[in-house]
Amino acid sequence: MSITRRALVGLAGIAACEVALAGCSGDPDDGPTGDAKATIDKAQSVGAMEDYGVGSTFKATEPVEFSLMYRDHTNYPVQDDWSVFRHLQEDHNVTFKRTDIPMADFDQKKSLLIGSGEATDIVSVTYGGTETQFITGGTILPVSSYFHYMPHFQQKIADWGLQADLDNKRQADGRIYHLPGLREAPDVQYSVVIREDLWEKAGLTEDPATWDEFREQLQQVQAANPEIDYAMSDRWTDATTLGSLLSVIAPNYGSVAGWGYSNTFYDEGAGKYVFNGTTDEYKAVVSYAAGLIADGTLDPEITQSDDQATQKFISGKSAAISGNTQSLVEYRTKFADADKGDVPIRLISLPSGPNGSNLPAGRFTSGLLISTKASEQPYFKALLQFVDWLYYSDEGLEFAQWGVEGETFTRGADGTRVLNEDISWSSINAGAPQLLNADFGYSNGVFLLANGSSKDLVFSMMTDEIADWTEQQLAANEQLEVAPAPQLDEIELEQTSLLQTQLTDAVQAATAAFITGQRSVDDDWDAYVTETEGLGAGQLIDTVNVALERAKSGS
């Protein structure tokens, strides 16, 4: 089935999604208009390797110290004696002057530091699109002018067919300011986790082929298991209504919703953007979720915390909950801790919908920014080489993910990596006394961009169960294309910023009301559409489409 609409994810300001705000293309070797190659002279080449290229192991020719804005994750608080820091210093001559910021405060304090001109050389864990607010201030480096100093990055872009996606990141000046994490294969992690025993009690042994069939299965499970309160009680829903579930459903309904919600959606047939929150496709997603609650199979407590939803699942009050490839371990551990024994659970395969079987567009993940001040430092060229090696070379990516062979893992004769038995990561060696991230600093989002890289490396950290499930999803679903991106200039960005916020808030509030039955989809949808128009939906779409036409014409 052909897909005629694609989302421009991120114009709604959703920080968790990759954003593309420009749409001109160019030859990565020559540099597009307005993005000519910049030259780094000898004064900024201290520590740089003269013969650095694809396949090179970066090691500074003399010790260098880069300043780093470090996102300190609550699950693995930074330790000065981590193995990752020791090996970067001993093996690569690199140390960091860190500005450690707690995860909860990271985005806010990052913005303050960048806006005040106090950004570090490297700004870690930054999602695409959030850089646009800093461009006019001149504090963020137009890194695309220096891509020719980053051979591994260029190689991955070419080998993995990501050039069009990369060009979509160009701003109105033709340059790129955000270095994304790259994935060879689409990222597929989220679905619904079910209690197999309760499903089998209802006579169900096969995954639902469609979302309509999933709805029918929930009804059957509810009827066959009278001791449960609801067939499904969902998590990841307190900040965004059914955030995970709607984001998984929407691609197969021709929309984006939940965590992935964007106000703008590209209608491929019309060649322009439409307001996503009032399309028939978005309405169908909302109606589907509302139908689950109306059936009595989905818990109407859509503002509950993750802990509340998880406890209902573990205690047997529900038979299904949103999950991902990591949460299976979490749920199994909680079942064991609650003396429930070995409760059989699994991720269901992604059901199809009216628009087929699809995965969301895009193979970029969170990345990083480099400050303009870094280009004035004597080690600037060495910094670019280091970033290129760590985040984009096969060797650097393996180091950031697995650590050091002989210390954290071994390698079999066939090249298979095996994590040491006393070290745990996700589903691997669950319960081991040491954690790869918390005790060693590897598999850390600061040094490994959202765990995004080669398919081999991503799969190498999976159990057989998760690898098989992931392969099945990749084989059964087609990834949607990235929509063409308009070149919003500074004035247009300012004009749309407030509109984006108020429209997103209004859509999310109405979505929650429709799903819970506080508003009727049948009776109140037209009034809701009128409300969004009053908040500037038409103005937003007109502005975006004017910018899109300008980008297409190259003017």
Q: Is the pLDDT of residue 371 over 50?
A: yes
Return d(Cα 31, Cα 81) in angstroms, integer. Answer: 42
DSSP 3-state of 21: coil
Contacts of 146 (CB under 8 A, 6+ apart): 37, 38, 40, 384
Which residue is listed with tokens 């299965």? 217
**Inside any domain, residue 86:** yes
Is pLDDT of 531 > 80? yes
> What is the pLDDT at residue 258?
96
Q: How far is CA 267 from the centre of its chain?
A: 23
pLDDT higher than 70, residue 39: yes
Whether 404 is covered by a domain: the verdict is: yes
Q: Which among 264, 172, 13 has a CA at the least distance from the CA of 490?
A: 172
Which of 447, 462, 477 represents a domain boundary (last residue)? Answer: 462
Quote the CA–CA distance of 2 and 25 in Å, as a whole number. 26
Assess whether pLDDT exceeds 60 at residue 522: yes
- Which whole number is the average pLDDT over 307-317? 98
Tell me, yes or no, whether 209 and 275 share the same domain. Answer: yes
Query: What value does the mean pLDDT of the chain take?
Result: 92
Work out the average pLDDT over 89-118: 96
CA neighbours closer than 13 Å in the CB half-sphere of residue 409: 25
Q: Let me know whether 243 and 333 are in one domain.
A: yes
- In 77-157 the beta strands, taken as DSSP E runs, fall at 94-102, 122-126
Q: Tell whether 440 is covered by a domain.
A: yes
pLDDT above 50 for 488: yes
Are residues 222 and 322 both part of a single domain? yes
The range of the structural domain enclosing residue 238 comes to 191-359
Q: What's the pLDDT at 239?
A: 85
Q: Who contacts 41 (Cβ-Cβ below 8 Å, separation ≥6)?
A: none
- The domain boundary, picked from 462, 481, 516, lies at 462
Encoded tokens for 1: 């089935």
Average pLDDT over residues 412-434: 92
DSSP state of 539: H
Task: Specify the number of domains making up the chain.
Answer: 2
Q: Is residue 455 scored above 90 in pLDDT?
A: yes
Quote the percentage of the chain above a pLDDT of 70: 93
Does residue 338 sit within a domain?
A: yes
Instruction: Tell me the per-residue pLDDT of 125-162, one tens digit each, with 9 for 90 and over.
Output: 998 888 988 988 999 999 999 999 999 999 999 999 99
Whether residues 199 and 320 share a domain: the answer is yes
Same domain, 115 and 93: yes
**Amino acid identity at 168:** N
Checking if the pLDDT of 31 tops 60, the result is: no
DSSP letter for each residue of 463-499: -HHHHHHHHHHHHH-EEPPPPP-----HHHHHHHHHH
Q: Which DSSP state fits 462?
A: S
Q: Are 388 and 150 in contact (CB under 8 A)?
A: yes
309-330 average pLDDT score: 96
CATH of the domain at 383: 3.40.190.10
Q: Does any domain span residue 80?
A: yes
pTM of the model: 0.86
Average pLDDT estimate for 159-182:
93
Name the nearest CA neighbour of 472 among 346, 366, 323.
346
- Tell whether 213 and 145 lie within a shared domain: no
Task: List C-alpha distances in Å: 554 to 23, 25, 174, 465, 475.
Answer: 9, 10, 10, 48, 37
Q: Are residues 180 and 201 in the same domain?
A: no
* Averaged pLDDT for residues 358-376: 95
**Segment of 17-31, 294-308, 440-454, 491-505 carrying the highest mean pLDDT:** 294-308
Give the pair of three-digit tokens for residue 274.
């439409």
- Answer yes or no: do 125 and 200 share one domain: no
In this structure, the answer to whether residues 343 and 368 fall within a common structural domain is no
Give CA–CA dist 434/422, Å, rounded.
6
> Residue 243 above 70 pLDDT?
yes
Q: 482 in a domain, yes or no?
A: no
| Domain identity same for 319 and 341 | yes
Assigned domain for 531 exists: no
Q: Is 291 part of any domain? A: yes
Residue 382 shares a structural domain with residue 309: no
Q: Which pLDDT belongs to residue 555?
A: 62
Q: Show which of 315, 337, 359 is a domain's final residue.
A: 359
**Same domain flag for 349 and 401:** no
